[in-house]
Amino acid sequence: MAKEAVKKIKLQIPAGKATPAPPVGTVLGPAGINLQDFCTKYNDATREKMGDILPVEISIYEDRSFDFVIKTPPTAFLLKKYAKIQKGSTKGSKEIVATITDAQLTEIAEIKLPDLNAYTVDEAKKIVAGTAKNMGIAIEGQE
């Protein structure tokens, strides 16, 4: 018989840098799981993506055991990383703060494809391009 999840918790934690201190400790502490065990497993699983912020979905079971699924980094985080900016435009699409190439857009779309509601890279590119436009990031060769 499969264990039934009592609680699901979603967090965004920098890869390889989870510690029992807040915010991880304050969210997971009341759930009753072993914080040090979670941090060790998460850090080992994300070591090669150091520096990225990764969403993680933690399933907690009745016996206080847990497992987690690591998602792809948020689209906005990837766009800022590739455009080499600290934050997006405060005026949305009315103010262009950076430009990325079509190749960079394709690369981001390929990274995000497993977590997006899209079946092909071209569909994923349209979703990522919409996020980029709203952040004030232009794509070379597009209006």
Tell me how crowded residue 37 is: count the other CB atoms within 10 A of its CB: 12
Q: Which domain holds residue 61?
A: 5-70
Q: Is the pLDDT of residue 143 over 70?
A: no
Pick from 135, 88, 127, 92: which is nearest to 111 by CA? 127
Answer yes or no: do 42 and 95 share one domain: no
Tell me how crowded residue 137 is: count the other CB atoms within 10 A of its CB: 26
Answer yes or no: do 64 and 92 share one domain: no
* Bridge pairing between strands 137-139 and 98-100: parallel
Q: What CATH number does the domain containing 16 carry? A: 3.30.1550.10
Q: Out of 40, 70, 100, pick the residue that ends a domain.
A: 70
Total number of domains in the chain:
2
- Across residues 101-126, what is the average pLDDT? 87
> Tens digit of pLDDT for each residue in 43-59?
888 888 887 888 889 88
Answer yes or no: do 63 and 88 share one domain: no
Q: Which two tokens stand for residue 75?
A: 């689209």
- Put simply, whether the predicted model's pTM sits higher than 0.85 gets the answer no
- Asked whether the bond before 74 is cis by omega within 30 degrees of 0, the reply is no
